[in-house]
Structure 1
Amino acid sequence: MPEHNYIGREQDESIMKLSFQPDGLLPNNPELPVLLYKGVLRDHPEDTEQIFNNNGWLNSWVNGVFPYHHYHSNAHEVLGVISGSASLQLGGDAGYTASVEAGDVVVLPAGTAHKKLTASPDFRIAGAYPGGMDYNTRRADPDDFAAALPEIREVPLPERDPVYGEAGPLLRLWK
């Protein structure tokens, strides 16, 4: 059963902490929680990618989210909704369905499964990786699962929060 902890308000937005265990096909990250920053960039969602880049989360892109379970075993990832809304499945089929909209940010630790369930026609999201790390894309597959476990343990903690930089809650919540 996934663990969902609402951890209160942080610099005027709600932050939700979500923890998921491996399920045999999807490793998730049993050490680090997913962080969902609700509404943190709601006043200027169009600046999402630039804010991530300014805080050292690089190798960015703007697009959507794959409609199948996937994860990155060699990098953490941040997703920020620029426009529209979507339902994202986090942590696999037994995980958590997050309703996200423009201004929301999701920080995914390496290994955390995610997929798009539904989205509005105008849904656009920016993604980035700490320090501009290259990322792989793995799926719900036994061979990928076995290869991913040692890779996840080697991914370093980010030096900066993707939204708040050196003073962000990520640095306190990921230890």
Structure 2
Amino acid sequence: MKTRTARPPSVKTNPPEVSVFQLADDGAIPNSRFPLLIYHAAVQLPAADPASAFEELFEFNEWGGLWRDGIYTYHHYHSTAHEVLGVYRGSATVQFGGERGIKQKVVAGDVILIPAGVAHKNMGASSDFGVVGAYPAGQEWDMNYGRPQERPQADENIARVALPTADPIYGRRGPVREHWK
């Protein structure tokens, strides 16, 4: 029996170099019991259509609902789905966790794995900044903004979101399996 690889043969990845951030509930933003994960220089992007490398990886590892765009310039989070963002072009400083959260610079080739409940906001980006977004199979995203009326329903939703079956980049043995338990 042939073993399935963690990536399509046309996409090259680098060994995982992961930053891990545990973000606490700040009263407005619930954040998550699972840490935010940033994979630095995870994917070797082709010059032609770099977004396609992320799309292939995400689909191969059972993350769907693919889209290409940027990151909103206001705090928002999803209570019904985890989200992965693959930076395919440019750079940005992103705040995670709400107004008192952390700020991280991300660049092309980086991957951001955002657990349900963790807020994210674009604090400033290069003019060419672009990401591919996706969600684990079977998860549909919603939008929340840290408003009081969103809770406790958002908290209940977050508690029910299933773990992904595979890491969006590295498959069944990726960092998400190590850090989200």
Would the TM-score normalized by the shorter structure come out above 0.5?
Answer: yes
Structure 2 contact 68–131 (Cα < 8 Å) conserved: yes
Q: Of 15, 19, 22, which aligns to 1:19?
A: 22
Runs (5+) with no aligned partner, structure 2:
1-13
2:34 aligned residue: 32
Over the matched positions of the two proteins, sequence identity in percent amounts to 41
1:8 aligned residue: none
C-alpha RMSD of the superposition: 1.2
- CA distance in 1 between counterparts of 2:96 and 2:44 reads 22
1:133 aligned residue: 139
Which consecutive aligned stretches of 4+ in structure 1 deviate over 6 angstroms post-superposition? none
TM-score for both structures, normalised by structure 1: 0.90
The structure whose residues are more often strand, as a share, is 1
**Post-superposition shift, 1:147?**
1.8
- CA distance in 1 between counterparts of 2:160 and 2:105 reads 31
Q: Of 36, 41, 44, which aligns to 2:43?
A: 41
1:57 aligned residue: 63
1:87 aligned residue: 93
2:176 aligned residue: 170
1:4 aligned residue: none
1:61 alignment partner, SS class: strand
TM-score for both structures, normalised by structure 2: 0.87
Aligned residues: 164
1:160 aligned residue: 166
What's the CA shift string for 1:25-50, capped at 9, x where partnerless?
11000x10000001001444431122
1:51 alignment partner, SS class: helix
Between 92-101 and 104-113, the greater mean CA deviation after superposition: 92-101
- CA distance in 2 between counterparts of 1:71 and 1:116 reads 13
- CA distance in 1 between counterparts of 2:178 and 2:62 reads 17
Structure 1 contact 64–124 (Cα < 8 Å) conserved: yes
Structure 1 contact 42–104 (Cα < 8 Å) conserved: no
Whose radius of gyration is greater, 1 or 2?
2
